[in-house]
Structures are given as structure tokens and as C-alpha cells.
Amino acid sequence: MKRMNSTHVSYFKLAAYVDIGLFKYLVFVSLLCLYVLIIVSNLLLIVVICMNRSLHEPMYLFLCSLFVNELYGATGLFPLLLIQVLSNVHVVYFPFCFLQIYCLYSYVCVGYLNLTAMSYDRYHAICHPLQYNTHMTTKRVAALVALTWLFPLLTIVVLISLTLRLHLCGNIIHKVYCDNFSVVKLSCSDTRINNIYGLLYTLVSIGIPLVLILVTYVKIFKVCFSGSKQTRQKALSTCSPHLASLINFSFGVCFEVLQSRFDMSNVPNILRVFLSSYFLTCQPLFNPLMYGLKLCLG
């Protein structure tokens, strides 16, 4: 196969799209409604938290950051998705492909770091309630939010830089959106550094946050089981939405990681498309519904 430099690849073809005839208009309207619902629900809760002074507490500030990230992730996917559904030629130009990779990967990293910060906040609220205000100061909350958003900047810039240096032998991506590992698999050159860094990135952005969340919940559950019924009820009411969000998010992300690293050809194509897009389409709607219900119920 003819070898060509990645700088000579002007576009990538997204091969997961299939011709569905006039049904594409129904799919387009459905996706557009979902996107509008995501935008409205997340924006509404951001406005409620910002306008209501009684909600200017660490937990709700982390929630606000979470909702902003859901808007960011959905916007990284849906505009291109809507265009591709109506288009007969499913291509994305080189710069926009890598812009989407940056948006979607940073969305995942920010999401897990945000959930980690929220579990840290819940740990202090339940395990050290009397010292809560001392531990969760305004400066500490601001530092955690800043770290949540700034840390992915460096890690993902390195990830994309390593991919940009590769020589590519093709331009077909078997997905409905651009994915870094799919681009790496198109390479004719040595990708060992990319694979090693990709595994390290996955460990840092997903593995370590999950371990930290697990540690905080082990300590929370110890306090709950040794505490009063009131303590258990408080822990249940404050931690249930967070745990549900974490499980829902991790389900979609883990399937995407498995699909990228292993052969999933035995899974029907339509199911692979849905599951690989799950954390980008369902999670941004799941969180505002979950936490919005909690806000309404007090």
C-alpha cells in the first residue's frame, strides 16, 4: 500500500454511517431534539445554581462544572453528527477531526476528574462534617475546579501531537465520530510510543480517578455502617446521584475503550454505534435529569 504522510491526508471517511434513505430525516429530527433537550436542561440548571445564592456551596459548584462539561461534550459531537446524518458523503476534514478528538477526549477526562472532586467533597461532608468548612474552602474548591479543566489540556495536547507525527496509509475511520486510536491504527509507521502513551493516558484519566473515588466511598461506607440511621440516610441522599452518574458514565466509556482495543466485530454494527456514542449522547441528559430531580425534591 502506498505510504503517505499525515499532512497529505485532507479528510477522513466515517465508515460507520449507512444509507437509510428517507429515515435519515427522522434520525436527524430525533438527534436534534435530543441535542436541544441536552442544551436546555444543562443550561437551566447552570442558571439556577448561579442565580440562587443558597446553592453557592462546593457541591453545587462542582455540579455546575459537571453541567458545563456535558454541554461541552455534547457540542463536540452533535453538530458534526447532525451534518453527517443528512450528508451523502460522510467525511470530516483533517483539522476538524483532530478538533473533535480533542473535545471528546477532554470531555471524558474532565468528567472523571469532576466526579472525583465531587466524591472528595462528599467524603468531607459525611466523614468530617464539623471540619467541612475548614477543608472545603473557596480557594480549595477553585483549585480543584481549575485542575479539573486545565490538567486535560496538557495530556491531550501530547496525545494529539504524537498522532500528528505519524505517517498514514489510509483515511477510513469505522465510527460515527473521530477517534484518536482509530487514526493511530491507520499508520504505516511505528506506533509503540502512541500505544504506550495511550495506555498511560487511559490509566491517568480513567484508572486513577476511579481508584480515588473507590477509596473515598470505602471510607464513606465505613462511617455509614458505624453511624446512626440519620447518617446513613444523609449519605444515601447525597451519594446516590453521584454513584448513578459514575456508573452510567463508566459503562459507556469502558465499552468505547474495549471497542478501540479489542475486536468487537461479533457485536452488531448498530449496537456498536449506539454503545460507543452512549457516554456522549445519554450521559449529558442523564445528569441534569438526575440532579434536577434532586434539586426539585430538596
Q: What is the pLDDT of residues 22-42, one digit of tens each?
A: 888 999 999 999 999 999 999
Residue that the C-alpha cell 462542582 belongs to: 62
Beta-bridge partner residues of 4: 168
Q: What is the mean pLDDT of residues 121-131?
A: 88
Look-up: residue for cell 505517517? 167
Average pLDDT on 222-251 reads 82
Give the domain CATH number at 114.
Answer: 1.20.1070.10
* 120-139 mean pLDDT: 89
List, for residues 247-283, the tens digit of each pLDDT value.
Answer: 999 998 888 888 777 766 677 778 888 888 888 888 9
pLDDT at residue 296 above 50? Answer: yes
Task: Give yes or no for residue 134 having a pLDDT over 70.
Answer: yes
Could you read off the pLDDT of 149-197 as tens digits, one per residue?
999 888 999 999 999 988 888 889 888 899 998 899 898 888 899 999 9
Q: 255: closest CA among 283, 276, 270?
A: 276
Backbone angles phi, psi at 4, to 5 degrees: -140, 145
Helix/strand/coil for 15? coil
Q: What is the pLDDT of residue 65?
A: 95
Q: What is the mean pLDDT of the chain?
A: 87
Whole-angstrom distance, CA of residue 156 vs CA of residue 167: 20
Among residues 221, 220, 217, 219, which one has the least CA distance to residue 209?
217
Half-sphere exposure of 123 toward its Cβ, with a 13 Å CA cutoff?
15
Confidence of residue 298 (pLDDT cuts 50, 70, 90): low
**Residues of the chain above pLDDT 70, percent:** 94
Which cell goes with 12?
477522513
Residue for grid cell 466524591: 119
- Would you place residue 292 in the very low, low, confident or very high pLDDT band (cuts 50, 70, 90)? confident
Model confidence band, residue 99 (pLDDT cutoffs 50, 70, 90): very high
If you search the block for the grid coordinates 445519554, which residue do you land on?
282
Nearest to 17 by CA among 96, 81, 104: 81
Judged against a pLDDT cut of 80, whether residue 205 lies above it is answered with: yes
Specify the pTM. Answer: 0.91
pLDDT score recorded for residue 3: 42
Q: Higher confidence at residue 116 or residue 279?
A: 116
Domain that holds residue 169: 4-297
DSSP 157-197: HHHHHHHHTSEES--EESSSS--HHHHHTTBSS--HHHHHH
Between 82 and 269, name the one with better pLDDT.
82
pLDDT at 7 over 90: no
Task: Give the pLDDT mean for 125-144.
Answer: 90
Per the structure, how many domains does the chain have? 1
Question: What pLDDT is stored for residue 234 in this prediction?
Answer: 73
* Residues facing residue 173 across a β-bridge: 14
Q: For position 1, what pLDDT does the model report?
A: 37
> In which region does residue 272 sit, left (phi positive, over 0), alpha (psi from -120 to 50) or beta (all else)?
alpha
**Which whole number is the average pLDDT over 57-69?**
93
